[in-house]
Structure 1
Amino acid sequence: MRQKKLFIAALVFLAVITGSIIYAADHIDAPAVTSQSTDITDLYVFRGQDAGNLVFVANTQGLLSPGATSAASFDENTLIEFNIDNNNDKIEDLAIQCKYDAASNAMLVYGPYPVSEPGTMSKIQGQTTARVAVTAYGDAKPKIGTGTYGIKVFAGPRDDPFFFDLNRYKMILAGTAPGFNNPGTDAFAGTNVLSTVVEVPKFLLGNTNSLNVWVETKKKM
């Protein structure tokens, strides 16, 4: 298989520590990725329903209205890459790479594999370990693909899971509100994202109780 060079287009950082999660969110406030397939909104990592698995979620192309969601699609020239540091040196040791194949309308998963080139440049590593047809907007039965070692994958539009009361936040900054309401008003209600979800057995991630994880979207050169 020909290895393809890619360059970094956007990135969000997340640190996973034993027993807890620190997460980051970013909705189109970087001019270089606004309205692009490379725009990352959120990264989540959490224990699966099977306690022996970890679930990695990368959401992209946020703030999609219901009307725009049916026409939204993954980009075959954009690589979604989960980077995993399992020895706390802040350098990726493993990568899970997800690449859309337009011909089959499927998301292909590579890895987790050892990283041959740490940093902003990447090569697609090895062979596919899982694949799944992209679930269409409004499909009542989400498609779940399975692959090597029990890896599972989903790809398709989802309701944006991130909750933030943006208007109240602005009022707090302006000094016109003392704090957030409980419950607040979700500024992202009614908007969608394109979600890529990969569930991986923990034994594939190294013998460690602590991981640093970040996600990058990378464009083909």
Structure 2
Amino acid sequence: MLALQAAPSLASSHREAPFVAAQPQLDSTDLYAFVSPDKADTVTLISNWIPFEEPAGGPNFYPFAPGAHYDINIDNNGDAKPDIIYRWVFRNQYKNPKTFLYNTGPVSSLTDATLNFTQHYTLTEIRGTRTTTLVRDGIVAPSNVGAASMPNYSSLWNQAIYTISGGKTFAGPADDPFFLDLRVFDLLYGANLKEVGNDSLKGFNIHALAIQVPTSAIAASGDATKNPIVGVWTTAERQSVQITSKTGNASSNGTFVQVSRLGMPLVNEVVVPVGSKDYFNASQPKDDAQFLGAVTDPELPHLINSVYKLPVPATPRSDLVSVFLTGVKGLNQPANVKPSEQLRLNTAIPPSATPNRLGVLANDNAGFPNGRRLTDDVVDVELRVVEGALTGSKNTLGDGVDANDVPFQASFPYLALPHAGPAASPVATTTVKRVNNAGAWPVATGIAGAVALLALLGWALRRGGPGQSGKRRMNAAA
């Protein structure tokens, strides 16, 4: 197998465009859509947000943007317009705004007084002019601060799973389920393949919005037998005017403007050119004909050719139009489809008893690009497809990372629990030597480490330092 990476910004949709790179709360990292493996009459949809969450990033951690619209859109008739929208809107609550602490003691329940910061949300289902509230005042699972703060974190996490009509929903942090080697930024390894196979997202978290609904609830006319194919994409909107007062208080008003969009993985990363990425994020699927040229003659095969001398498949690439814009005929292409970038799922195909990470390329039609499961290796699949796997050019391209760093769960929302703050930092650590005492303090480098160090020093000063009283400290300062 030839192991290489794909193209700059290849982390599915992590920081893929200039604007959302500076707006991480509104940056959709990945979208998943699959028939639920343990409940085959339902479909599970998962949209992930906020890339590269360092688990020790306290004391504020990584909340959703309050007041913004986080949407999962469903097109069930192939016209490239949303027929159903599931929308989450969040608000923040501090029980004690006079402390800097995320929690003021051990937490065992989402409603504990010791959980100082909570995010609450409303989940609505929008069908045309009709809006139905599915969850009112739901609570987001908290960040996994650590064992001292949250001795039974899995219980807290599971408390954030809410039952809705015929299904379930969840909002909160999780291990980032996407897996790949991000040495992409080094000119595709510069043809040096000695260090491939390192999962660059190992140890990082994201924030997930997940919903499980009956298949009939999202099928056109409620008939999943006659209309089994749906298209899915995520969007995020925020009000156009953001105001910060002299006192530091923030508010917003004006019309809602779309700033993020994601359907098929890697499209805005390796297909859309950098000058159009923000524009793509603000666009609608019904207008995707304007991006056709980027699909029929993509840049990536030329880049691979320049580094590895692999032949560039003949253009125009109708095979890529099928995968990215219309769905594959006989698999997940709707009748009378309007070409548009969506993640398409044929809900009539049952879950595979033995899923293959390469999905359709390995004759597992329950997997990518028929929807996307958590275990699907979309990097390897798309590399092979871009190099002509669907047109007879068999290849074994890949990045050497074939699975997630931690196992997924067997039931909704299927994601792995988020990494705990002090337990598994993906960044390097350094050691700060103690003064007047033996031993050392390991402190994570970066922002989280700085916060931890400041808090630690503040604690030491309040106590007068090791073995010192407040009076002695004042005398020393004098």
Partner SS, residue 56 of structure 2? helix
Offset at residue 62 of structure 1 (A): 0.8
Partner of 2:163: 146
Partner of 1:4: none
Structure 1 residues 88 and 102 mapped into 2: Cα distance closer, same or farther (>3 Å)? same
Partner of 1:28: 15
1:109-151 C-alpha deviation (Å, 9 max, x unpaired): 111x3234xxxxxxxx62311253111122222221112x223
Q: Say whether residues 1:213 and 2:232 are aligned partners.
A: yes
- Paired with 1:90 and 1:127, the residues of 2 have a C-alpha distance of 23
Q: Are the aligned partners of 2:67 and 2:91 in contact in 1 as well (CA < 8 Å)?
A: no
TM-score, reference length from structure 2: 0.36
Q: Are the aligned partners of 1:130 and 1:152 in contact in 2 as well (CA < 8 Å)?
A: no
Offset at residue 58 of structure 1 (A): 0.9
Q: How well do the aligned residues superpose, as a CA RMSD in angstroms? A: 2.3
Offset at residue 170 of structure 1 (A): 4.2
- Paired with 2:184 and 2:18, the residues of 1 have a C-alpha distance of 25
Partner SS, residue 156 of structure 1? strand
Amino acid at match of 1:98: W
Partner of 2:340: none
Amino acid at match of 1:128: T
1:69-100 C-alpha deviation (Å, 9 max, x unpaired): 66211122211111111111212111111111
Partner SS, residue 21 of structure 2? coil
Of the two structures, which has the highest relative contact order with CA contacts closer than 8 Å and spacing of 6 or more?
1
Out of 23, 43, 50, the residue aligned to residue 39 of structure 2 is 50
Q: Are the aligned partners of 1:107 and 1:134 in contact in 2 as well (CA < 8 Å)?
A: yes
Q: Are the aligned partners of 1:35 and 1:61 in contact in 2 as well (CA < 8 Å)?
A: no
- Paired with 1:153 and 1:87, the residues of 2 have a C-alpha distance of 24
Q: Are the aligned partners of 2:172 and 2:208 in contact in 1 as well (CA < 8 Å)?
A: yes
Partner of 1:19: none
Q: Are the aligned partners of 2:183 and 2:189 in contact in 1 as well (CA < 8 Å)?
A: no
Amino acid at match of 1:155: A
Identity of aligned residues (%): 26
Amino acid at match of 1:34: A
Q: Which of these two proteins has the greater Rg computed from alpha carbons?
A: 2
Offset at residue 35 of structure 1 (A): 4.1
Out of 93, 100, 104, the residue aligned to residue 83 of structure 2 is 93
Amino acid at match of 1:200: V
TM-score, reference length from structure 1: 0.75
Out of 87, 91, 102, the residue aligned to residue 92 of structure 2 is 102
Partner of 1:185: 198
Q: Which runs of 5+ in 2 are unaligned?
A: 1-10, 94-117, 145-152, 240-254, 256-478
Greater percentage in helix: 2
- Paired with 1:51 and 1:92, the residues of 2 have a C-alpha distance of 24
Greater percentage in strand: 1
- Paired with 2:83 and 2:186, the residues of 1 have a C-alpha distance of 40
- Paired with 1:106 and 1:27, the residues of 2 have a C-alpha distance of 25
- Tell me the number of residue pairs that the alignment of Structure 1 and Structure 2 aligns: 185
Partner of 1:136: 142
- Paired with 1:35 and 1:214, the residues of 2 have a C-alpha distance of 21
Offset at residue 31 of structure 1 (A): 1.4
Partner SS, residue 25 of structure 1? coil
Offset at residue 107 of structure 1 (A): 2.7
